[in-house]
Amino acid sequence: MTQASPTPAKPKRPRPQVMKLTDAAAERITELTKRADSEIVGLRVGIKNGGCAGQSYTVEYAHEIRPTDEVVEDKGVKILVDPKAVLFLLGTEMDYVADKMQAQFVFNNPNQVSACGCGESVQLKPATV
């Protein structure tokens, strides 16, 4: 009796990186983690419901990496993406912009459908993969 050889496994397609950072965003995240009162492993990025357009981005200090976090390492810093936000953030570039009136992280997101006039909230669609 001849034993059939196992079918070779298909090579896995490389997993796309959820987000990337500009140099300005990476520099600002590095500054924030150095100045924090307690140890910070990176910034946690997510999406919450609310605002005129329906959703808004969230950015907060991350003191730990949760098992469900999507970890993005870019330019020497870590971004931890909430698993519920991954499909809405695929392909997003996170930037940091400072001018005379304000300084903030800006998300250049190909999944953004619209934004409210004040820029505080957005409408997002899930990425097509």
Backbone angles phi, psi at 25, to 5 degrees: -65, -45
Instruction: Please check the confidence at residue 41 and state whether its pLDDT lies above 70.
Output: yes
Q: Please tell me the predicted confidence (pLDDT) of residue 90.
A: 93
Please indicate, yes or no, if residue 8 is contained in any of the structural domains.
Answer: no
Q: Please tell me the predicted confidence (pLDDT) of residue 119.
A: 63
Q: Is 122 exposed, middle or buried (0-12, 13-18, 19+ CB in 10 A)?
A: buried
Q: Please tell me the predicted confidence (pLDDT) of residue 116.
A: 74
Please indicate, yes or no, if residue 109 is contained in any of the structural domains.
Answer: yes
Q: Which domain holds residue 64?
A: 17-122
Distances (CA, A) of 110 to 45, 52, 77, 106: 16, 20, 22, 13
Please indicate, yes or no, if residue 7 is contained in any of the structural domains.
Answer: no
* Count of domains observed in the chain: 1
Instruction: Please check the confidence at residue 2 and state whether its pLDDT lies above 70.
Output: no
pLDDT band for 31, please (50, 70, 90 cuts): very high
Please indicate, yes or no, if residue 10 is contained in any of the structural domains.
Answer: no
Q: Please tell me the predicted confidence (pLDDT) of residue 23.
A: 97
Tally the C-alpha atoms within 13 A of residue 55's C-alpha that lie toward its C-beta. 18
Please indicate, yes or no, if residue 101 is contained in any of the structural domains.
Answer: yes
Q: Please report, for the domain that includes residue 102, its CATH number.
A: 2.60.300.12
Please indicate, yes or no, if residue 9 is contained in any of the structural domains.
Answer: no
Q: Please tell me the predicted confidence (pLDDT) of residue 64.
A: 94
Distance of CA 73 to the CA centre of its chain: 10
Instruction: Please check the confidence at residue 72 and state whether its pLDDT lies above 90.
Output: yes
Mean pLDDT within 63-84: 94
Please indicate, yes or no, if residue 46 is contained in any of the structural domains.
Answer: yes
Please indicate, yes or no, if residue 116 is contained in any of the structural domains.
Answer: yes
